[in-house]
Amino acid sequence: MSCVTAMTDADRQKLAVDFCGLSLATPLVLLSGCVGFGEEYTRVAGFSNHDTGAVCLKGTTLMPRLGNRPHRIAETPAGMLNAIGLQNPGTDYVVNTILPSLDFTETRFIANVSGSTVEEYAEVTRLFDDSPIDAIEINISCPNVKEGGVTFGNDPDMSARVVAACRAVTRKPLITKLSPNQTDIANNARRCIEAGTDAFAVINTLMGMAIDIERRMPVIGNNQGGLSGPAIKPVALLKVHQVYQVCRDHHIPIIGQGGVTSATDAIEFLIAGATSVGVGTALFYDPLVCNKINQGIVEYLDRHGLDSVRQLTGSLTLTAAANSPGAKA
């Protein structure tokens, strides 16, 4: 049974959030790369996009891309490595063929923009601006392509240039997807705010490798890939907390993501500073996990006497002793 039909109107009101002026039915966002272009999971019995606040479409470049050589996926302890390499049919096809087939009454749809140059990011953004897409996510942090992606995302100057170029060609909400593979994520966030981003997605995957010991070669054809799943959740929580310190005074919302598999995980990200919570890898082994997370959040709110999930955002209280002079890490 769909979570939407099982919940009362009061429950739905508790889950509703505002994200960059967009009303989201729940704080859950299905992450780019995990749900194709928004229709794949609708074929699963019991799944409904109504159970989500938004769906991030697969990363899209200006021209079609075939992606990386196989193998592209490898299971790891408490997670998985992927190096798909932004395989996609190109922006024109997505805008003119895929978007018209989506049901925008079900949920919000967010485009994911990628590129190899600042100019490509801007042109893809411009094309999506003239479409029904609700918001645009700038993927400046993909670890699986040889140019662009992490090259931009780990350099605050380049990150700001990409954001500014995209900001100049769209009025739609811009969400900048930040890489954890950088020295000072908070400083990068600050530069992106100055350049015009409206929100952040924190974090993208961590760079990793798996080795076939019999062949003494990497398992992934790209040699390295992006690590996702429960293994990265502690890192993601810290990065959300750090970025929230920059975003709080600017009223910049965050999609917290990285290893969310349960309501407890989602609530942790909200408390750390997220307004919305991304669900990705968990969908591969439990396509109906969003129902369970929504229900778990409502139960938590009821148990703690809270009226809205919005009351959780940034409610973390740090241990005073950890901030005192001389405290050890």
Check residue 6 and give its pLDDT.
Answer: 65
- Answer whether 0.85 is exceeded by the pTM: yes
Burial class of residue 214 in the structure, from the number of CB atoms within 10 Å of its CB (0-12 exposed, 13-18 middle, 19+ buried): exposed
Contact 99, 247 (CB under 8 A): no
Give mean pLDDT, residues 156-160.
Answer: 92
For residues 308 and 179, which has the higher predicted lDDT (pLDDT)? Answer: 308
Q: Provide the b/e sequence for 126-153 (b: ≥16 CB within 10 Å).
A: bbbeebebbbbbbbbbbbbbeebbbebb
Q: Summarize the confidence of residues 271-279 as an average pLDDT.
A: 98
| Contact by Cβ (8 Å): 52, 58 | no
> In this structure, what token pair is assigned to residue 307?
């009226």
The arithmetic mean of pLDDT across residues 125-146, rounded, is 86
Cβ proximity of 40 and 91 under 8 Å: no
Q: What is the pLDDT of residues 1-47, one digit of tens each?
A: 344 446 788 999 999 999 999 999 999 999 998 998 988 888 899 99
Cα separations in angstroms, 298 against 68, 149, 150, 314: 41, 37, 37, 18
Residue 317, CA atoms < 13 Å, CB-side half-sphere: 1
Lowest average pLDDT, out of 151-165, 244-258, 313-327, goes to 313-327
How far apart CA 254 and CA 274 sit, in angstroms, is 5
Please state, rounded to an integer, the average pLDDT across all residues of the chain: 92
Q: Report residue 198's pLDDT band, with 50, 70 and 90 as the boundaries.
A: very high
The β-bridge relationship of strands 79-82 and 73-76 is antiparallel
CA distance linking residue 16 with residue 27, whole number of Å? 7
Widest CA span in the chain: 60
- For 206-244, what is each residue's pLDDT tens digit? 999 999 999 999 999 999 999 999 999 999 999 999 999
Domains in the chain, please, with CATH? 3-323 (3.20.20.70)
Rounded to whole angstroms, the Cα distance separating 107 from 27 reads 12
**Is residue 264's pLDDT more than 50?**
yes
Instruction: Check residue 1 and give its pLDDT.
Output: 38
Question: Do 208 and 227 meet the contact criterion of CB atoms below 8 Å apart?
Answer: yes
List the catalytic residues. Answer: 142
pLDDT for 42 equals 86
Residue 322 pLDDT: 63
